[in-house]
Amino acid sequence: MEYWILFGSFAGLLLIGTPVAFCLGAASFATVLYLGLPPVVVFQRLNSGISVFALMAIPFFIYAGDLMVRGDIARRLVALAGALVGHMRGGLGQVNITASLMFGGVSGSAAADASAVGGLMVPQMKAKGYDVDYAVNITVVSSIIALMIPPSHNMIIYSIAAGGRLSIADLFTAGIVPGMLLALMLMMAAWWVARKKGYPTEPFPGLRMLGVLFVSALPGLILIAIIFGGVRSGIFTASESSNIAVVYALAITALVYRSLPWSEFVEATKGAVRTTAMVLLVIGCAACFGWLLAYLRVPAQLVELLQSVSSNPIVILLLMNIILLILGTFMDMSPLIVITTPIFLPVAMAFGVDPVHFGVILILNLGIGLCTPPVGAVLFVGCAVGRISIWQAMRTIWPFYGAAFATLMLVTYVPALSLWLPSLFR
């Protein structure tokens, strides 16, 4: 009966449009009451879920990304990407993907990537004769590259959900090769669609202009090296690196580029506070929900169930990917990481999957969920930027879904893509 109360009340509240954090909290509270546990347990678990020092990195990475968005960094990175790959087939589509790869290393947020890069690229692509759905589809799917590469705050959430035992530096490093592989696969899909529809290319601006644009964008690119290099080398922790990222972003945008007026600074601060409050409330409620799952032995029972289905790791990983893809269409990413990690990580480890490798699989899988209706947050952002309906975008997004799913399968079944680079740095 407790399972029906926990999952039934959660699903029911979700279906009537209740915010995810309240769905998780109310379902946990109702289950605790049914089990006869003290109600204060809910608030203790919520508080312990957000009283983790490593979570300090999340608000500061969000803040640094917002400052970069408002401080002209995105425009300079897009210009550099245009000089690098604009001459390829489907020119501006390739620029969009490359800019997402660069900007993702600055923001660490798929939504910020879709908003910043999409806001610059979609109008340009429409003006050059590209179909608006093509522009939006590339913007939406390529934005999930930001989830894979440092400073992805979702990797930090996964590390905490896994019990805090996993190195954030290892997780940051493990996502780099899969992130680049995803960019490559999306570029191939963009090339195929562009060739089929006859989209134009952009002229190569020359090596001199390429050098000028590189120097212009270099301060933003240096931030990537500071965050990754500092965390990976052990000079500072992820929490400390997030503070350094904010100071650096303020210095570059306000003093070097002089592109951050006071009004934008105030809006960036307010936006970071709002986003942080929402994220931490979701994490706290999801931590309580996850504790109840462990209390009710849901992970152990799931391991037994899957072992009764098959003992083949290939089949088990496929089943887990399918379940996660379905869940990703109905829930946002942060709560899903906190909820599903205690359930699926023991299953994966029981079948010999490295927890760092599983983290990369989980982040990429749930990132695809951000691009799928009915609760695809990044899909909503992209469609709002392009001013088209979700169904108009969905009609032609399939080549890019295919590229993302192919990358997911490669990452799932070729562990070296995730584990080679961390082992090399160790």
- 48: how many CB neighbours lie within 10 A of its CB? 13
Phi first, then psi, for residue 38 (nearest 5°) are -60, 130
Residue 29 is inside which H or E element, if any?
A: helix 20-35
**What residues contact 358, with CB distance under 8 A and at least 6 apart?**
344, 345, 348, 349
Instruction: Output phi, psi for 199, to 5 deg.
Output: -70, 150
Q: Report the number of secondary-structure helices (H) and strands (E) in the chain.
A: 22, 0
What is the spatial distance between Cα 189 and Cα 402, in angstroms, rounded to a whole number? 8
Task: Return the pLDDT at 47.
Answer: 81
**Helices 2-15 and 20-35, axial angle in degrees (round to 10):** 160
Q: What pLDDT does residue 141 have?
A: 92
**Amino acid residing at 19:** P
Look at residue 413 in the predicted model and tell me its pLDDT. Answer: 95
Q: What is the pLDDT of residue 209?
A: 87
Alpha carbons within 13 A on the beta-carbon side of 304: 5
Question: Taking Cα atoms as reference points, which of 314, 306, 307 lies closest to residue 414?
Answer: 314
293, 339 Cβ separation under 8 angstroms: yes
- The pLDDT value recorded for residue 187 is 92
pLDDT computed for residue 264 by the predictor = 84
Single-letter residue type at 290: G
Nearest Cα neighbor of 364 from 310, 418, 314, 295 is: 418
Please, which residues have CB within 8 angstroms of residue 295's CB and are 6 or more apart in sequence? none
Please report, for the chain, the start and end positions of each structural domain, with discontinuous segments joined by +.
1-424
Q: How far apart are CA 14 and CA 376, in angstroms?
A: 15
Q: Are 244 and 226 in contact (CB under 8 A)?
A: yes
Helix/strand/coil (H, E, C) string of 122-141? HHHHHHCCCCHHHHHHHHHH
Confidence at residue 291, expressed as pLDDT on a 0 to 100 scale: 80
Helix, strand or coil, per DSSP, at residue 273:
helix
pLDDT of residue 4: 83
Position 200 scores a pLDDT of 77
Contact (Cβ atoms closer than 8 angstroms) between residue 231 and residue 168: yes
Q: How many CB atoms lie within 10 A of CB 426?
A: 10
Mean pLDDT by 10 residues, the chain (426 residues): 81 79 85 85 80 76 80 79 80 85 78 80 83 90 89 86 83 92 93 85 82 85 79 78 85 82 86 81 81 76 76 87 85 82 86 92 92 79 84 88 95 94 85
- Return the pLDDT at 399: 92
